[in-house]
Amino acid sequence: MAKDVKGFMKIGRTSSGYRPVCERIKDFKEVALRRTDEESMEQAARCMDCGTPFCHWGCPVGNLIPEWNELMAGGYWKEAAELLESTNNFPEITGRVCPALCESACVLGINDDPVTIRENELAIIERAFKEGTIKPRVPAARTGKRIAVIGSGPAGLSCALQLNRAGHQVTVFEKAPELGGFMRYGIPDFKLGKWVIDRRTDLMREEGVNFRKGVNAGVDIPVSALMKDFDAICLTGGSREPRDLDIEGRGSGGIHFAVDYLTQSNIMAAGGTVPPEELISAQGKKVVVVGGGDTGADCIGTANRQGASCIVQIEVMPRPSECRTEDYPWPGHPLLLKTTSSHEEGGERMWSILTRKFLSRDGKVTGLSCVRVEFTRPDEKSCPVMKEVPGTEFEIEADLVILAIGFLHPGHPGLLTEMGLEYDKRGNVKTDDKYRTSVDKVFSAGDMHRGQSLIVWAIAEGRRAAHHIDEYLTGQSRLPVM
C-alpha cells in the first residue's frame, strides 16, 4: 500500500481527544482516547517526507520520524516499530507524556497544523505490543563487565537497557519500593498508567537486567562496596530538591511541595496507604497551586479527583501567547499557552501573580497575599524586569497550597557527598562531554547531571551515557550515541 505523497494537502490534523470530563474525574484511569489504526495511518499520511526534516532536529533522541510515518501510512507497522525502537527505548512513555518538541519543528507547521507525531508514535508501539512483536532481546554473549545504575527513572532505565544489550551485566538500584522514579511517583495515572512502566521493566528483566528495589545506594550499600563490586557506575537519581517559596508564613500547616502531594496520590492510586497524620488531601478544600507548568497542571487534575471545592492556579510569568510570536520563531519550541486535560476539568488560572506572603490562623494556612506584576525591558538588549503593579494587591483564600515551582538540583547528602563528586554552578553533578564525573569510573546522566528537564531528554542522556560507558569498558562501542 503506497502512501499518498499529497496527503498533507488533503487531510487535516485530528487528535484522539479525551474521555468525557464528567466520567474521567471520577477515577485515575488514563484520560486520553486511542485512535483506530485507520485513523492513525491517515494522520501519518500527512507527513511531507521533507528533504530536510527538522523534526529530527527537534527530537532529543533523534527519532526517524518521516521514515516511520511513511511505513505506518503504508501499513508496514512491524517495520515502523523496529525503526521507532532503534532510537527510542520507551516510545510507549514518550508517546503519552512527551511535549512533542518534534511537532514544534514540523515543516508542515509553518503554514498548517503539524503532524500528530506523538500520537503516531504511540499508535505504532501499542500495536507492536498488541501483536507481540516487542520481544525480549537477550544478548548472545556476556562481556563479564558489571555496571551499577543508580536510579530507575527514564535516564537510568534507558542506560541500563542499552548496556545490557551490549552484553554487560547491569544492576539497577532503586531506593523506592517500585521502579520508574518520577515517572511512577510524580506523574498521575490519568496521564501515564503505571502498567506501562511495569510492562517494559518486565521485558528488561527477561533480557537480563537485574533490579534491586528498596535499596538506597550509598546507605544500604556503602560506596566502598559499589566501587569494589562494579566496573562502572552511572548515577541517574534525578533532580529532586524542590524549589521553595521562602516568604512570610511559609511554616504554616497546609503548604506542601507538589512532589510530596503527587507521590502520595500515586501511592494510593496503586492501592497503597498513607498514614492519616501525613495525608495531603484536597477533599472539600480550597486549593491554590503555585506554578503554571505541567506539574502544576497534574496537581489540578489530582485535586479535582480528590473532590476539591475550588482550585486556583497562579503563575508569576505573563500569560503566554496562543500562537507563535517573533520571540519564538520556527523551528524552535515556542512558549505557548498550554491547556491540558486537567485544566479542562475545572479551576481558575491566573498569570502575572506574585505571592507576597501566606496568611494563616492557628498555625494553618488560610490564604495568600498576592500582587499583580508586569515585566518590562529598559531597552531592547536588556532582560525583562519584574515590577509590582501599585494598587493591585489582593488575597486568595486557601486551605491547601501546593508549590509546583520546579526543582533546584539533586540531593547532595548521602551517595553524592560520600563519593566526593564535584558539582556545577547549579549544584548538579558535574561531568565532561562523555558523562564522566570527577571520580574515576563514575558517570552521570539525566536530570542529576543536566538539571530538571524532560523525560525524552533523560532517555537521550541515558542512551548517550551508555555509549560512553561501553567505550570506557571495552575501548570501543557499537551502541548508538543518539
pLDDT in tens, 70-115: 999 999 999 999 999 999 999 999 999 999 999 999 999 999 999 9
> What is the phi-psi region of residue 249: left when phi exceeds 0, alpha when psi lies from -120 to 50, beta otherwise?
left
Strand positions, DSSP E, 33-127: none
Residues 123 and 83 in one domain: yes
The sign of the CA dihedral 100, 102, 105, 108 is: negative
- Residues 204 and 187: their CA atoms lie apart, in Å, by 21
* Burial profile 438-454: b = 16 or more Cβ within 10 angstroms, e = fewer: ebebbbbbbbbbbbbbb
Residue range 136-140: mean pLDDT, rounded = 96
- Residues 308 and 433: their CA atoms lie apart, in Å, by 47
Residue-level pLDDT at 445: 98
- Tell me how far apart the terminal alpha carbons of the chain are, to the nearest angstrom: 31
Residues 401 and 447 in one domain: no
* DSSP labels, 408-469: EE---TTHHHHHT--B-TTSSBP--TTSB-SSTTEEE-THHHH-S--HHHHHHHHHHHHHHH
- Residues 330 and 312: their CA atoms lie apart, in Å, by 32
Residue range 447-471: mean pLDDT, rounded = 97
Instruction: For residue 131, give every residue at least 6 positions away whose Cβ sits within 8 Å of its Cβ, in sequence order, or none.
Output: 77, 78
User: Is pTM beyond 0.85 here?
Assistant: yes
Residue-level pLDDT at 377: 85
71 falls within a domain: yes
Residue-level pLDDT at 286: 98
Can you read off the three cell numbers belonging to residue 91? 516510545
Residues 364 and 257 in one domain: yes
Provide, rounded to the nearest whole percent, the portion of the chain with pLDDT above 70: 99
The alpha-helical segments, DSSP class H, found in 208-257 are: 223-229
- Band of pLDDT at residue 269, cut at 50, 70 and 90: very high
Residues 229 and 278 in one domain: no
Residues 275 and 321 in one domain: yes
Q: Decide which of 131, 164, 182 is a domain's last residue.
A: 131
Residue-level pLDDT at 381: 80
Residues 423 and 461 in one domain: yes
* DSSP 8-state secondary structure symbol assigned to residue 30: -
- Band of pLDDT at residue 260, cut at 50, 70 and 90: very high
409 beta partners: 241
Residue range 438-446: mean pLDDT, rounded = 98
Q: What is the mean pLDDT of the chain?
A: 96
C-alpha angle 182/81/45, rounded to 5°? 105
* DSSP 8-state secondary structure symbol assigned to residue 146: E
Residues 372 and 248 in one domain: yes
Q: Counting beta carbons within 10 angstroms of the beta carbon of residue 315, is it exposed (0 to 12), middle (13 to 18) or buried (19 or more)?
A: buried
2 falls within a domain: no
- List the one residue out of 372, 415, 364, 145 whose CA is nearest residue 251: 364
169 beta partners: 146
Structural domain total, the chain: 3
**Residue 106 is part of which domain span?**
7-131
Strand ranges across the sheet with 232-235: 210-213, 169-174, 146-150, 232-235, 442-444
3-state secondary structure 346-378: CCEEEECEEEEEEEEECCEEEEEEEEEEEEECC
Q: What is the CATH number of the domain that holds 94?
A: 1.10.1060.10
140 falls within a domain: no
Q: Is residue 317 predicted with pLDDT exceeding 60?
A: yes
